[in-house]
A and B are shown apart, each in its own frame.
Chain A
Amino acid sequence: MLFALAVAALVLVPVVVTFSSFAQVERDILSHLIEFALPELVGNTLWLVLGVGLGVSVLGVSLAWLTAMCEFPGRRVFGWALLLPLALPAYVTAFVAIGLLDFTGPLQTWLRDGWGITGLPEIRSRGGVILVMSLALYPYVYLIAKNAFATQGAIALEAAQSLGLSRTQGFFRVALPMARPWIAAGLMLALMETLADFGTMAIFNYDTFTTAIYKAWYSLFSLAAAAQLASILILFVLVAVVFEQRSRTQMRYSTVGRSAAQRRIKLSPALAGLALLYAGTVLAVAFIIPVTQLILWTRDVMADDLDARYWAFAWHSVLLAGIGALMVVAVALLLAYAGRQRPGTAMMWTQRLATLGYAFPGAVLAVGLFIPVAALDNWLIDAGQAWFGFEGTEILKGTLLIMLLAYLVRFLAVGFGPIDSGLHRITRNVDEAAKNLGTGAAGLLARVHLPMLRASLLTAATFAFVDIMKEMPITLMTRPFGWDTLAVRVFEMTSEGEWERAALPALAIVIAGIIPIILLTWREARSLD
């Protein structure tokens, strides 16, 4: 219980720190913020949330319905392939889109030179950001809505038809409302990612809170301003969290009757063709074209860029992701065990709080954890000077501590989910059976729990590893000198507009990102057996 409380406290630290920043106001910076920056930031953020929310809902729900409930050529392949965009961090889709569609990009050049067509809508715009974010984040809605439709869609539809509704009416009046909690939960996850996104916004030069925090940090050198901005962003995020948690409690699986498998709607050839075209276009635009472009660019620059420096970036990424994933798995395992030892409402809330970090944007965590660690550092330095004659300016600040703590807070939920559900599958009777057969506590762990949890631990580690590899703002803002990673390299190259040279590190991240999707589909396929 103490341990669980400590982890939960770690999550609260950034919240408390950022809000307490209002205690020491730097008057001129704050008034500048309120007067010039805030209206634009809030407006931009609201537009973004609205647009992306609409985009991911439409894309996610329609694709989920098609692949779960309708029969058309290629349905099985699309079922998992439509998840692939999850492997592309939004910032990768973003720079590829700009590289392709910009005024100087190949498409516009071709249209202009070959056909004399100009005046294509500018990609570096609000619409462009929304489009890119929607394409990158729709899988959150798609995955969870597909699950809902597959488990209860067919029954809902048949019930509706037996009451005299047409299929279309049945979809809008029964199936869709029934799946609402699932769709809402997926939507909120997508919106949290939208609010947390830094890389895409930086590439598009679209000012939101995350980019503003970064600028306050690096350009204004004002920690207080960064923290104040972070606290406002937290307010946005909390709204999403409340909605998400509420939807989750409303999710009730009822798997009555047969699965939808035998009862899919057979589409007429014309409709099937349209479905194929639609799903194919989304997949092409969201995954195939960007990845192809990445590969082409990579081929161009490989000879020059695949050098020792590149391998250093890759090594840093793998090392950090590895250490981070181990930390996440260890803490998640202890937290899950705490819940097993002492079940109860208090423990449940502590666990929920402790795993809430996934909702906090990386930029917020970077600020919220840097400030207290820096304070602790100053105190240590003072103490060291006074007692041991210590000469130096930083002890903890120069280490990986802040970065790893931030990773832990942000990605603990990713590891906790599979481990906790794995542990729940080991019933108390299994423990007691082992004890009846003469096994003590150590034997129970070594001979029963760890072997049974192996798959869950592996899943948790993989997910955490890949998420840390993709992570940009925390790494960018809190890395010690010399710890550049692949994601940092992508940021640096894209901020100079060198799309081709960002492709090589981006491709490595994408390849790593495909692993958990394979795991996810594989597990889903097995659970349907």
Chain B
Amino acid sequence: MAELILDSVSQSYAERQIIADLTFTLPEGAIGCLLGPSGCGKTTALRCISGFEPIQSGEIRIGGEVVSRPGWMLAAEKRRVGMVFQDYALFPHLTVAKNVGFGLRNISKEVRQARIDELLQLVGLAAHTGQYPHQLSGGQQQRVALARALAPRPRLILMDEPFSNLDVELRERLSLEVRDILKREATTALIVTHDQHEAFSLADWVGVMHQGRIQQWDTPYNLYHEPANRFVADFVGQGALVTGEVINDHQVEIELGVLDGHIPVECDASGCDECVRNCRVDVLLRPDDIIHDDDSLLLAEVENKAFRGAEFLYTLKLPSGQRALSLVPSHHNHAIGERIGIRLAVDHVVAFRRE
């Protein structure tokens, strides 16, 4: 239970920069998540924190103590950082109880047993103490791995793609369960995943990573509604970019109408006025920003549709030929090629300057 701070950490392997200038703070007891496509450096970041990879610049602090700096690192076995591996890495020759008790050393037998019982109770495996890992299902193995990592009360828990070996349904249920367990143990935890649903349902803080850098470190809500750049906008959630023109600092015009709100377009220091005014931008439209309305005079052609059960996700072709997405209740079943009425319902305007 401690705060984790990464201060401009960089790491490269064979001349290739894996992570660059990684900076974020995970408060004590919070659950953080590094989200990104494969190869973005998130697993390497985790291995730097756990003490298996050296860093070339910056500093990693756990609970105020420096654990890694260039040329020096505290040995992994002395960090008190627990880790849940993607393949769980359970010890196949030990029972569930002995796996969980593996890291509990130099304490009395009673205390040890009590802690094992407590954790198995917590993860709901009290009935499986004497079984071996291969006798358990994937979800159960995952929970043993978590209990094993939590047992020595580490200062920090790291989880590498913890649900990637499980099927989709189990994934969702288990991620809520894991969040519950972590919160009850009041552990600081950092999770690595490429699945945004997992990140959103688990984490208090999410860092979107791309090409070794953190693009945005924020709450899930802000990541979705106020993405800091095009990569985040594209990677998190669905949506489409349509061209627009800035009218003033609180209005932007797109082909479907004028949007009101704060226009967070950064401008150059010089010639600021000109830049903001008449500046061409791309405006992000989420599927829930466009509402289907039969009475609307604004029409768009249905180009494609995906049935989602409760709703349809329509891909619409706007009059100019640009594309946008719209989420529509599923009793509005329109054929491909049909023109339907739409209207805008945009809360947060997200716009990026055209490049």
Q: In this complex, what residue of B is CB-closest to A447?
A: B102
Q: How far is the CA of A448 from the CA of B148 in the complex (A)?
A: 15
Q: How far is the CA of A348 from the CA of B87 in the complex (A)?
A: 26
Question: In the complex, how many angstroms separate the beta carbon of A469 from the nearest chain B beta carbon?
Answer: 30
A437 contacts chain B at the CB level, 8 A cutoff = yes
Query: B52 and A448: CB pair below 8 A?
Result: no
B64 contacts chain A at the CB level, 8 A cutoff = no
B345 contacts chain A at the CB level, 8 A cutoff = no
Query: B76 and A435: CB pair below 8 A?
Result: yes
Interface residues of A in 418-441 (CB under 8 A from B): 427, 429-430, 432-440
Pick from A436, A447, A452: contact of B83, CB under 8 Å: A436
Query: A437 and B89: CB pair below 8 A?
Result: no
B91 contacts chain A at the CB level, 8 A cutoff = yes
**Chain A residues within an 8 Å CB radius of B94:** 451
Q: In this complex, what residue of A is CB-closest to B81?
A: A436
Query: A438 and B103: CB pair below 8 A?
Result: yes
Q: How far is the CA of A526 from the CA of B80 in the complex (A)?
A: 38
Query: A432 and B148: CB pair below 8 A?
Result: no
Query: B152 and A437: CB pair below 8 A?
Result: yes
Pick from A430, A437, A440, A451: contact of B103, CB under 8 Å: A437
Q: How far is the CA of A113 from the CA of B219 in the complex (A)?
A: 100
Q: Knowing A427-B87, A429-B85 touch, does A437 contact B93 (C-beta < 8 A)? A: no
Q: Mark A440-460, 1 if CB is under 8 A from B, else 0.
A: 100000011001101000000
Q: Knowing A438-B152, A440-B77 touch, does A433 contact B89 (C-beta < 8 A)? A: yes
Q: Mark B97-123, 1 if CB is under 8 A from A, else 0.
A: 000001101000000000000000000
Interface residues of B in 281-320 (CB under 8 A from A): none
Question: Total interface residues on B, using CB and 8 Å?
Answer: 29
Q: How far is the CA of A439 from the CA of B75 in the complex (A)?
A: 11
**Chain A residues within an 8 Å CB radius of B103:** 436-439
Question: In the complex, how many angstroms separate the beta carbon of A443 from the nearest chain B beta carbon?
Answer: 9
**Chain A residues within an 8 Å CB radius of B82:** 436-437
Q: How far is the CA of A447 from the CA of B91 in the complex (A)?
A: 10
**Chain A residues within an 8 Å CB radius of B85:** 429, 432-433
Q: How far is the CA of A447 from the CA of B105 in the complex (A)?
A: 12
Q: In this complex, what residue of A is CB-closest to B102?
A: A437
**Chain A residues within an 8 Å CB radius of B151:** 437
**Chain B residues within an 8 Å CB radius of A430:** 89, 91
B149 contacts chain A at the CB level, 8 A cutoff = yes
B141 contacts chain A at the CB level, 8 A cutoff = no
**Chain A residues within an 8 Å CB radius of B86:** 429
Question: In the complex, how many angstroms separate the beta carbon of B352 from the nearest chain A beta carbon?
Answer: 40
**Chain B residues within an 8 Å CB radius of A429:** 85-87, 89
Q: How far is the CA of A132 from the CA of B151 in the complex (A)?
A: 62
B187 contacts chain A at the CB level, 8 A cutoff = no
Pick from B75, B79, B83: contact of A433, CB under 8 Å: B83
- Judged by DSSP, the binding face of A is helix
Q: Mark B65-80, 1 if CB is under 8 A from A, else 0.
A: 0000000000111111
Q: In this complex, what residue of A is CB-closest to B94?
A: A451
Q: In this complex, what residue of B is CB-closest to A441?
A: B77
Q: How far is the CA of A427 from the CA of B79 in the complex (A)?
A: 21
Q: Knowing A451-B93, A452-B92 touch, does A436 contact B87 (C-beta < 8 A)? A: no
**Chain B residues within an 8 Å CB radius of A432:** 50, 52, 76, 83, 85, 89
Q: In this complex, what residue of B is CB-closest to A451?
A: B93
**Chain B residues within an 8 Å CB radius of A435:** 51-52, 75-77
Q: Mark A359-393, 1 if CB is under 8 A from B, else 0.
A: 00000000000000000000000000000000000
**Chain A residues within an 8 Å CB radius of B81:** 436
Q: In this complex, what residue of A is CB-closest to B52?
A: A432
Q: In this complex, what residue of B is CB-closest to A438?
A: B77
**Chain B residues within an 8 Å CB radius of A439:** 77, 102-103
Query: B105 and A438: CB pair below 8 A?
Result: yes
Q: In this complex, what residue of A is CB-closest to B145?
A: A433
Q: How far is the CA of A439 from the CA of B78 in the complex (A)?
A: 9
Q: How far is the CA of A207 from the CA of B105 in the complex (A)?
A: 66
Q: How far is the CA of A143 from the CA of B143 in the complex (A)?
A: 40
Q: How far is the CA of A121 from the CA of B338 in the complex (A)?
A: 91
Q: In this complex, what residue of A is CB-closest to B89?
A: A429
**Chain B residues within an 8 Å CB radius of A438:** 77-78, 80, 103, 105, 152
**Chain B residues within an 8 Å CB radius of A427:** 87, 89
**Chain B residues within an 8 Å CB radius of A437:** 77, 82, 102-103, 148-149, 151-152
Q: In this complex, what residue of B is CB-closest to A454?
A: B93
Q: In this complex, what residue of A is CB-closest to B84?
A: A433
Q: How far is the CA of A451 from the CA of B91 in the complex (A)?
A: 10
**Chain B residues within an 8 Å CB radius of A434:** 91, 102
Q: Mark B124-153, 1 if CB is under 8 A from A, else 0.
A: 000000000000000000000000110110
Q: Knowing A429-B85, A438-B103 touch, does A452 contact B77 (C-beta < 8 A)? A: no
Question: In the complex, how many angstroms separate the beta carbon of A471 from the nearest chain B beta carbon?
Answer: 33
Interface centre among A430, A435, A437, A439 (most CB of B within 10 A): A437
Q: In this complex, what residue of B is CB-closest to A433?
A: B89
Query: A436 and B102: CB pair below 8 A?
Result: no
**Chain A residues within an 8 Å CB radius of B83:** 432-433, 436
Q: Mark B151-169, 1 if CB is under 8 A from A, else 0.
A: 1101000000000000000
Q: In this complex, what residue of B is CB-closest to A439?
A: B77
Q: How far is the CA of A434 from the CA of B152 in the complex (A)?
A: 12
Q: In this complex, what residue of A is CB-closest to B105?
A: A438
Q: Mark A82-104, 1 if CB is under 8 A from B, else 0.
A: 00000000000000000000000
Q: How far is the CA of A440 from the CA of B77 in the complex (A)?
A: 7
Query: A452 and B93: CB pair below 8 A?
Result: yes
Question: In the complex, how many angstroms separate the beta carbon of B75 from the nearest chain A beta carbon?
Answer: 8
Question: In the complex, how many angstroms separate the beta carbon of B217 from the nearest chain A beta carbon?
Answer: 25
Question: In the complex, how many angstroms separate the beta carbon of A447 from the nearest chain B beta carbon?
Answer: 8
**Chain B residues within an 8 Å CB radius of A440:** 77
Q: How far is the CA of A432 from the CA of B149 in the complex (A)?
A: 12
Query: B93 and A436: CB pair below 8 A?
Result: no
Q: How far is the CA of A454 from the CA of B82 in the complex (A)?
A: 27
Q: How far is the CA of A40 from the CA of B79 in the complex (A)?
A: 72
Q: How far is the CA of A438 from the CA of B89 in the complex (A)?
A: 15
Question: In the complex, how many angstroms separate the beta carbon of B54 from the nearest chain A beta carbon?
Answer: 15
Q: How far is the CA of A430 from the CA of B86 in the complex (A)?
A: 11
Interface centre among B80, B87, B102, B148 (most CB of A within 10 A): B102
**Chain A residues within an 8 Å CB radius of B79:** 436
Q: How far is the CA of A459 from the CA of B52 in the complex (A)?
A: 33
Q: How far is the CA of A438 from the CA of B103 in the complex (A)?
A: 6
The 9 closest A-B CB pairs, nearest first, are A437-B103, A429-B89, A433-B89, A429-B85, A435-B76, A436-B83, A451-B93, A435-B77, A430-B89
What are 5 contact pairs spanning A and B, CB under 8 A? A430-B89, A432-B76, A433-B89, A433-B90, A436-B82
Known: A434-B102, A435-B51, A437-B151. 18 other contacts (CB 8 A): A427-B87, A429-B89, A430-B89, A432-B52, A433-B83, A433-B89, A433-B90, A433-B91, A434-B91, A435-B52, A435-B76, A435-B77, A436-B82, A437-B77, A437-B102, A437-B103, A437-B149, A438-B103
Tell me the A residues contacting B by CB distance below 8 Å: 427, 429-430, 432-440, 447-448, 451-452, 454
Tell me the B residues contacting A by CB distance below 8 Å: 50-52, 75-83, 85-87, 89-94, 102-103, 105, 148-149, 151-152, 154
